Each structure stands twice: as structure tokens, then as C-alpha cells.
Structure 1
Amino acid sequence: MKPLIVYHAGGRWFGSEVNWKRSGSGFYREITGIEIPQSRAAIEKFAAENQYAIEWRGPLPEEEEAPPRPQPEESRDPSYSIDGNRTPILTNLPGLP
């Protein structure tokens, strides 16, 4: 199996194919970027079909982010601000119009 280096950056998946080349009495790795599918499951399927051994590199994102949790209904009380911090708005202070 050939190594396939896979990493995630900028919201996209990138892949590099590794080929071992002979040089004198040793070997070196020749790395070539290739197009890969854009989901982890599809990458694993692609690797299996093309006989790649995946080398995951760097931080990997969660496959599917959980949907945002519903927020409780905010109070419609006008004595609080709308900035989400529920900071009281001072009204009817002496000396203010």
C-alpha cells in the first residue's frame, strides 16, 4: 500500500501521495499533491479503493458539527438591553429628561 498524507486546512481536505524512489544505495520519498474527496468517510473509501494507507496529519475537524442548541426565549422586558447580557437600562433617573 502507498501512503496517502491527509490534512485539513482552511475548511478543505488536502492529500499528498507518497512514492518511494531509489537513490544510490538508499531511498527517498517523493510527495505529490492529489485531489481527494471532501469528507472523512469519502476519503477513507477513496483510500481503500486505491490501496492507500492514510497518514492523518494535524488537527482534524469534527465530522459533523452539532446543530446550534435552541436558545431560551428572551424576556421582552424593555428594562433590559438587547445585547444578550441582560444589562439593566437605567430609566427614570432624577435629573434626566
Structure 2
Amino acid sequence: MQEEGRALGYGGWRLLDTQTAEIKRMYVRPEARAQSLGREILLRLEADAKLGGATATQLETGVANTRALALYRAQGYVPITSYRPNRNPAVNRALRKEL
């Protein structure tokens, strides 16, 4: 997403296996928050991952990132056990959504 040539937010995804995409590095600039840009970025990433063959998406975020956790849960993500080795569940949250 951009305004006057300046990125307001971004994100990416990669395949973890043949059917699971990992949402990576979602970010919205502070001055652009509360405008549903995070939701729009997430929806576009999910749609693109689905076109790439994914049937599910997963992601990780920090427990202190309450806005992100609320967004992901509102979009249908559910908590799962961490899919990354040595993650501290007191610090990180893993979530998954079937597409």
C-alpha cells in the first residue's frame, strides 16, 4: 500500500511446504494505522498465497503485539503450537488459518 509514492505498509509470504504459506513481515506505518490497511494487506497476501497453491496460512507474532493478534483472530486465525523450534510461548504466538 502506498500514498504519494511512499509505502504505508507491506507484507510477504513464503511456502513452508506444498500447501502451507507463512505470512511474513506484515507492517503498517504508525501514521497509517486504524484505516484497515493491515486487514487489506493480510487479505491480499492470503489471496496471493492461495493462487500459489496454499490451502492454509500460518504466522507468528509477539504476545505484546495485541493489535496484530486482534487482527489475525478477527480474520479467522486460531492459535497453534509453534512451528518454529525453540520459540518461547511466553513471548511468541503462532496462528493458523485454513484458506
TM-score w.r.t. the length of structure 2 is 0.28
Q: Larger radius of gyration, structure 1 or 2?
A: 1
TM-score, scaled relative to structure 1: 0.28
Q: When you count helix as a share of all residues, which structure comes out higher?
A: 2
